[in-house]
Amino acid sequence: MVSGISRIFFGILLLAAETGTARADFSDGKMPDGIYHCEVYLLGMFLNLGDITIKGNVYTGPFYTGLGIFGTAQQGYNYQMDANGVISWLGPLGGYTAGGNSLSLTQATLDGQAPPSFDIIMKQPDGAFTASTCTKQ
């Protein structure tokens, strides 16, 4: 009985340590610096939504060099990220916040096996939601 309780206690300690490690990446409140390429999967293909550049706690973009649907990145704005990886953009975010669109949620993913990324959930004027993923290049 004692060894069973010891195993459970040890398992809880390991789980707490693993959870702490996973969240430690978010502890500084910033995404790794770099260019994040944003795409959405729509009608059976991936569509380019532009690039967001992050440096420190400042972002610019999205900047799309193709058709210019999101315009050009004109200035940087601050962002905040909480300990759970939820990002709050403190300025406009191109087409995500234009034309009646609004941001519902941005969730960061920092996994040692894959490049850092974040998912942006946008609410469209008609009430529908669209999700896109931005991955560090």
Q: What is the pLDDT of residues 109-136, one digit of tens each?
A: 988 789 999 999 999 999 999 999 999 9
Q: Which amino acid is at 103?
A: L
- Cβ atoms of 106 and 119 closer than 8 Å: yes
73-95: pLDDT as tens digits = 468 999 999 999 999 999 999 88
Instruction: Answer left, alpha or beta for residue 59, where phi above 0 means left and psi between -120 and 50 means alpha.
Output: beta
CA dihedral 101, 126, 86, 37 (to 10 degrees): -60
Tokens of 98: 């234009």
Among residues 98, 118, 96, the alpha carbon closest in space to that of 108 is found at 118
H or E segment and range at residue 19: helix 2-24
100-116: pLDDT as tens digits = 999 999 999 988 789 99
pTM for the model stands at 0.75
Place of tokens 């959405």: 40
In the predicted structure, residue 58 carries a pLDDT above the cut 50: yes
Tokens of 52: 């967001």
